[in-house]
């Protein structure tokens, strides 16, 4: 099979979530213990409810049965990415500008590997984060090739 399972599932799920005016946030295909899980994360501007997850799950399950891209048993899970949703696509980073983010890097930058603060900018090749360290404000520019993971961060003020 030349395409990865996640790519095939994205192609199958894309039109389904689009028709329902939802956003396909991410697709994961992972083995946990002896079981395989296909996780599809959806969202919308107003949030996601259980009925929308059920509808996407039902339609996607039918499409998966027809395409049959997975040769063994697996569990299909359709859900919201939650408040700390991952930032993976360019549009995710653009939407997150002005919001609190948590970014982890593959290697230390200025002696740190975890950066939490307000996302000020994203230009496709780097992100700029405003961090507050004690009473000091510090802007840090992180090259995208050094970003291991990025997500929205929930803060309690």
Q: Are 70 and 36 contacting, i.e. CB atoms less than 8 angstroms apart?
A: yes
* CA–CA gap between residue 91 and residue 85 (Å, rounded): 13
Domain positions in the chain: 5-79, 90-152
Write the pLDDT tens digit of every residue in 30-58.
Answer: 999 999 999 999 998 888 999 999 999 99
107 phi and psi angles, rounded to 5 deg: -140, 160
- What pLDDT shows up at residue 32? 94
- What pLDDT shows up at residue 1? 40
- For 15, other C-beta atoms within 10 Å of its C-beta total 12
CA 118, chain centre distance (Å): 18
Report the top-level CATH class of 90-152: mainly beta
Q: Are 22 and 44 contacting, i.e. CB atoms less than 8 angstroms apart?
A: yes
- What pLDDT shows up at residue 157? 61
DSSP characters for 50-69?
Answer: HHHHHHHHHHHHHHHHHH--
Could you tell me which residues come within 8 angstroms of residue 131 by beta carbon, excluding any fewer than 6 positions away?
115, 116, 117, 137, 138, 139, 140
* CA–CA gap between residue 39 and residue 79 (Å, rounded): 8
CATH of domain 5-79: 3.30.300.70
- Residues of the chain predicted below pLDDT 70: 1-2, 157
Specify the pairing of strand 112-122 against strand 100-109: antiparallel
């Amino acid at each position: 099979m030349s395409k990865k399972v996640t790519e095939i599932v994205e192609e199958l799920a894309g039109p389904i979530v689009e028709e329902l005016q939802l956003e396909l946030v991410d697709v994961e295909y992972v083995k946990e213990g002896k079981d395989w899980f296909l996780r599809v994360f959806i969202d919308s501007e107003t949030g996601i409810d259980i009925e929308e997850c059920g509808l996407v799950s039902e339609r996607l399950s039918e499409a998966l049965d027809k395409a049959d891209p997975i040769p063994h048993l697996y569990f299909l899970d359709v859900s919201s990415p939650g408040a700390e949703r991952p930032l993976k696509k360019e549009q995710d980073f653009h939407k997150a500008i002005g919001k609190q983010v948590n970014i982890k890097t593959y290697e230390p930058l200025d002696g740190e590997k975890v950066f939490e603060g307000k996302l000020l900018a994203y230009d496709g090749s780097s992100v700029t984060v405003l961090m507050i360290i004690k009473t000091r404000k510090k802007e840090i520019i992180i090259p995208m090739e050094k970003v291991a993971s990025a997500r929205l961060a929930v803060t309690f003020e």
